[in-house]
Amino acid sequence: MTDPFARFADWFAAATAAEANDPNACALATVDAAGRPDVRIVLMKEWDRQGFVFYTNRQSAKGRQLAHTPYATLDFHWKSLRRQLRISGAVTPVDAAQSDAYFATRPRESQLSAWASLQSEPLADRETFESRLAETAARFPDAVPRPPHWGGYRVTPDWFEFWEDRLGRQHHRERFDRAGDGWQLRLLYP
Ligand SMILES: Cc1cc2nc3c(=O)[nH]c(=O)nc-3n(C[C@H](O)[C@H](O)[C@H](O)COP(=O)(O)O)c2cc1C
Ligand SMILES: Cc1ncc(COP(=O)(O)O)c(CN)c1O
């Protein structure tokens, strides 16, 4: 199979069937303005041939890092399957219509949190956050609009690596590199 998206569909379906929770959880690696790496878990919410989308606060540490260096690597580890998948490429913001559509599917509490949380900024105490949540709830008694600073990012892959555990650490690694309109598949030593 030399189509990494078809392979992704297979592996993601298997992970969805096998994992106890969050088969869409992946580590998101970014680079800060000083060239230092950073990493945290996000949930991959949408994907197609254009790439893999997660949602966050664009003013967070990761948002600032992506504004400065618009590249990222995602790393899924499906423990029950003993599989790892890395996906790396350029990152672009998801457009307003798609971000609005996703935001509208979230529970009200999560929507309020997106307004009330100054994600990654220091928080003096828990009460400060709770009073910001209460103010936001009063401000939006009905539908909660998407905050302008909250939205999706799409990682458009230029490579994938599908890693599978084998006995004796003789693992199987398949690396797909973008090559013109298609993909070049090579094995890597474990
Ligand atoms: C399982 C799991 C899923 C998460 N999903 C997201 C997510 O989709 N978006 C998000 O902004 N933060 C998510 N978080 C929180 C992030 O890991 C992180 O704490 C937060 O985004 C701030 O990261 P930053 O300071 O590097 O920007 C998740 C955490 C866990 C443990
Ligand atoms: C702060 C934050 N933002 C966004 C998400 C994405 O998931 P959801 O849209 O389902 O809340 C998560 C998931 N843990 C999260 O913790």
What amino acid occupies position 172?
H
Low-confidence ranges of the chain (pLDDT < 70): 1
Residue 130 falls inside a structural domain: no
Domain that residue 154 falls in: 4-106+148-188
DSSP, res 169: G
**Which string of DSSP letters, residue by residue, matches 26-59?**
EEEEEE-TTS-EEEEEEEEEEEETTEEEEEEETT
- Which residue, by CA, sits nearest to atom 2 of ligand 2? 56
Question: How confident is the model at residue 1, as a pLDDT?
Answer: 62
Question: How confident is the model at residue 2, as a pLDDT?
Answer: 86
Give residues (CB < 6 A) around ligand 2: 43, 55-56, 106, 110
Angle at the Cα of 121 (from 87 to 102), degrees rounded to 5? 50
Cβ count near 160 (within 10 Å): 22
Residue 114 falls inside a structural domain: no
Q: Ligand 2: which atom is nearest the Cα of residue 117? A: 1
Residue 156 falls inside a structural domain: yes
The helix/strand/coil state of 89 is strand
- Which residue, by CA, sits nearest to atom 13 of ligand 1? 42
Q: Ligand 2: which atom is nearest the Cα of residue 110? A: 11
Global confidence as pTM: 0.98
Residue 35 falls inside a structural domain: yes
- Which residue, by CA, sits nearest to atom 30 of ligand 1? 41
Q: 27-56 pLDDT, tens per residue?
A: 999 999 999 999 999 999 999 999 999 999
Say how many domains are in the chain: 1
**Residues in the annotated binding site for substrate:** 45, 102, 106, 110, 169-171
Are 99 and 151 contacting, i.e. CB atoms less than 8 angstroms apart?
Answer: yes
| Radius of gyration of the chain, Cα coordinates, nearest whole angstrom | 19
Residue 84 falls inside a structural domain: yes
Residue 131 falls inside a structural domain: no
Cβ count near 42 (within 10 Å): 18
- Domain harbouring 85, CATH code: 2.30.110.10
What amino acid occupies position 17?
A
- Of residues 41, 40, 47, the one with CA closest to residue 12: 47
Q: 139-160 pLDDT, tens per residue?
A: 999 999 999 999 999 999 999 9
Residue 123 falls inside a structural domain: no
Residue 111 falls inside a structural domain: no
Q: ipTM more than 0.90?
A: yes
Question: How confident is the model at residue 142, as a pLDDT?
Answer: 97
Distance in angstroms (rounded) separating the CA atoms of residues 75 and 87: 7
